[in-house]
Chains A and B, each alone.
Chain A
Amino acid sequence: MGKILKYSFYDLIRSRWSYIYFMFYLLLGFVLFFLNNDVSKAVITLMNIIIVLVPLIGTIFGVMYYYNSREFTELLLAQPIKRSSIFLGQYFGVASSLTLSLVLGLGIPFVLYGLFRSDAIFDFSLLLITGAFLTLIFTALSFNIALSNENKIKGFGYSVLLWLFMAVIYDGLFLITLILFEEYPLDTFSLVATMFNPIDLSRTLILLKLDISALLGYTGAIFKQFFGTNTGFVISILMLILWTILPIWRLVYKAKRKDF
């Protein structure tokens, strides 16, 4: 697995797209600081971008890489290598190169502009950790989609749809449900519904650590308990880990049984 991971990783970090992705974040970081020098403000702006963009790039990149390296995969399958190592190696290769672009691209401008001297370092690390998780989750989901669909067009379509669903449609349905059932106590429901979407989950996680969490606690005792204490933070992190493990597990499971 290590060797395949290494090959995929080196293959990817030499590719043009990784550089573009990296340069994009680098530029974004510098522009944000150029416009306002306040680290904690920049964290909020970055959050808005990261929770939308990272899943999109993760999904597209993952599905693209899988289809592109199909011949290489088939070649590998002919060798005496465990199937799980092949697919996991490729998956971690993609995910880690994307994560690297994100962390370095945003990290460099932040470090240069005095992150270590500011108290936003925790918020910022949380932002990067969440970004990394989102990359892992959405790459894994897209690998799953690609693995289940031989047809490239279908695969692409499903993965874009997946992103659209998670980023926009889910919240829309969520909102409609909340309004339809506004007569009922909805605190627990809305917290649970947040857990079922990794994008919402990451958004909540970051908001929790910002001052704005007081705004969320305004609603009621359950929200106050969740957003006002460490409970919410711990639960959100655990859910993110679960969200990462489940698609990877399915990836391994499917890959073992797939007929190539």
Chain B
Amino acid sequence: MRQIIIIFLTCLFVSLSGLKAQSLVICDQCELKTIKEGIAVAQDHDTLLIRKGTYREFNILIDKPLTLLGVDSPVIDGQDKGEIFRIVSDSVTIDGLSIINVGTSYTSDYAAIRVVKSDHFAIRNVVLEKLFFGIYLERSNNGIVSNNKILGDAQDEYNSGNGIQLWYSKNVVVEGNIVQGVRDGIYLEFADNISISKNHSRDNLRYGLHFMFSNDDSYEDNIFENNGAGVAVMFSKRIKMERNIFRRNWGTASFGLLLKEINDAEILGNTFEKNTIGINVEGSNRINYLNNNFVENGWAVKIMGACYTNTFRNNNFIYNSFDISYNSKLNDNVFDQNYWSDYTGYDLDRDGIGDVPYRPVKLFSYIVNRSPETIVLLRSLFMDIIDFSEKVSPVFTPDKLADTRPLMKKKI
């Protein structure tokens, strides 16, 4: 009986001391001079206050629930020797640090912050520069990655890493980050139920955001600008894409959004502006495209076969060189009540819906699909003439592919 009481009291004491977490200060003149020392002496749930200064450390292992709080953005310099932080404990928070010089390796993916099999992590207000991989989440769930700044200087795809990478992770929130100059801004592989919002991903070598085999994710209010290609969504189900801006993904093989083998997705209220291809769709079914804006793209939507039961409704197609490109004669997709800036029909009953159907696939876009070199005839008089004749009586383009109720005015 006494033993039980002692054990109980000890447990209580331990848990109380755990609740009464200490703050340990780390700085040049302090007792604790390095972060590693700090972690070694810290108890569970302590806070390490890291003061301003430069700490030349790498391979820092965080194996207990701690909060690392940077005061006046201290710099952790990895001296290109390896990874910086490896988190292997639940409930770790990293806030306000600045990490530079992460090592580059061709055999292991060195990351500035790697979270391994740990839940309830939070990584906030971290600035990463000169990195290989930025924040790497590996089999770690229920965390948050927010307001970080990842500024890479990647030159080639083969020796650069991704800004934020999620691998087999679930229920993570990625919010308000700025990612630039890395290979993939944000990369998800086997990551489900992820929410990605208000991020700004720009000037990355490959994709701004990249999904592979990840289901039930959503990304909202992000800006993807000037990446090798905007966003690639591949082999994933039930992805929600709302109110994002895809801008200036402008290059010879570039696109705003790539959908490959995607089913049951929602694409709502996004803006695609000045991309070579707004959306490139391959083998994707049951997708709703609603209320999007396609402005001044080369191709607004390029559909490459085997796409069934997709719906395009209430979108604005404004000044694109080609509105829709389509390479099959069979059409199972619905185009309804979109606004097309090239529409030349009339509206006699003044109900805001044009009386003549609009055919978004021009003959020229059909021809370009067949033999791509014909693109040199872009904007030539001959093409305008045959486009016109095809418009009057469609022969080559799928005649069912038409918007029978085109809007007369832009949908706002």
Query: Are A and B physically bound partners?
Result: yes
Binding site for B on A (CB under 8 A): 47-48, 51-52, 167-169, 171-172, 174-175, 178-179, 182, 186-187, 189-191, 194, 199-200, 203-204, 207, 211-212, 214-220, 223-224, 228
- Identity of the chain B residue whose Cβ is nearest the Cβ of A47 in the assembled complex: B379
Residues of B near A223 (CB, < 8 A) are 373, 375-376
**Per-residue interface assignment for chain B, residues 260 to 286, with 1 indicating a CB less than 8 Å from any chain A CB and 0 otherwise:** 000000000000001010000000000
- Decide if A214 touches B250 in the complex (CB within 8 Å): yes
Q: How far is the CA of A200 from the CA of B375 in the complex (A)?
A: 12
- Decide if B276 touches A214 in the complex (CB within 8 Å): yes
- Identity of the chain A residue whose Cβ is nearest the Cβ of B275 in the assembled complex: A214
User: With A171-B383, A211-B250 known to touch, is A218 a contact of B377 (CB < 8 Å)?
Assistant: no
- Decide if A175 touches B379 in the complex (CB within 8 Å): no
20 A-B residue pairs with Cβ-Cβ distance under 8 Å, sorted by A, are A51-B381, A167-B381, A167-B382, A179-B370, A190-B373, A190-B376, A200-B376, A204-B376, A207-B378, A212-B298, A212-B378, A214-B276, A215-B276, A215-B378, A216-B376, A216-B378, A218-B276, A219-B372, A224-B252, A228-B252
Q: How far is the CA of A51 from the CA of B383 in the complex (A)?
A: 14
Residues of B near A200 (CB, < 8 A) are 376-377, 380
Contact pick for A216, options B253, B367, B375, B380, CB 8 Å: B375
Interface size on B, residues (CB 8 A): 25
- Decide if A171 touches B380 in the complex (CB within 8 Å): yes
A226 CB to nearest chain B CB (Å): 10
- Decide if A214 touches B251 in the complex (CB within 8 Å): yes
- Decide if B298 touches A214 in the complex (CB within 8 Å): yes
Residues of A near B373 (CB, < 8 A) are 178, 186-187, 189-190, 219-220, 223
B388 CB to nearest chain A CB (Å): 13
Q: A169-B382, A190-B376 are in contact. List 11 more A-B contacts (CB 8 A).
A: A48-B379, A168-B385, A171-B381, A178-B374, A179-B370, A187-B373, A203-B379, A212-B378, A215-B276, A215-B378, A216-B375
- Of A51, A167, A190, chain B has the most CB atoms within 10 Å of the CB of A190
**Per-residue interface assignment for chain B, residues 227 to 259, with 1 indicating a CB less than 8 Å from any chain A CB and 0 otherwise:** 000000000000000000000001111100000
- Decide if A217 touches B371 in the complex (CB within 8 Å): no
Q: How far is the CA of A218 from the CA of B375 in the complex (A)?
A: 9
B375 CB to nearest chain A CB (Å): 6
Residues of B near A204 (CB, < 8 A) are 376
Residues of A near B372 (CB, < 8 A) are 218-220
- Decide if B376 touches A52 in the complex (CB within 8 Å): no
B105 within 8 A of A: no
Residues of B near A48 (CB, < 8 A) are 379
- Decide if B375 touches A215 in the complex (CB within 8 Å): yes
- Identity of the chain A residue whose Cβ is nearest the Cβ of B364 in the assembled complex: A175
B321 within 8 A of A: yes
- Decide if A174 touches B385 in the complex (CB within 8 Å): no
Q: How far is the CA of A30 from the CA of B276 in the complex (A)?
A: 31
- Decide if A219 touches B375 in the complex (CB within 8 Å): yes
- Of A179, A214, A220, A228, chain B has the most CB atoms within 10 Å of the CB of A214
Residues of B near A182 (CB, < 8 A) are 370-371
A103 CB to nearest chain B CB (Å): 22
Q: How far is the CA of A189 from the CA of B251 in the complex (A)?
A: 23
Q: How far is the CA of A217 from the CA of B371 in the complex (A)?
A: 14
Q: How far is the CA of A179 from the CA of B386 in the complex (A)?
A: 15
Residues of A near B381 (CB, < 8 A) are 51-52, 167-168, 171
Residues of B near A179 (CB, < 8 A) are 367, 370-371, 374
B223 CB to nearest chain A CB (Å): 20
Q: How far is the CA of A190 from the CA of B372 in the complex (A)?
A: 11
A45 CB to nearest chain B CB (Å): 11
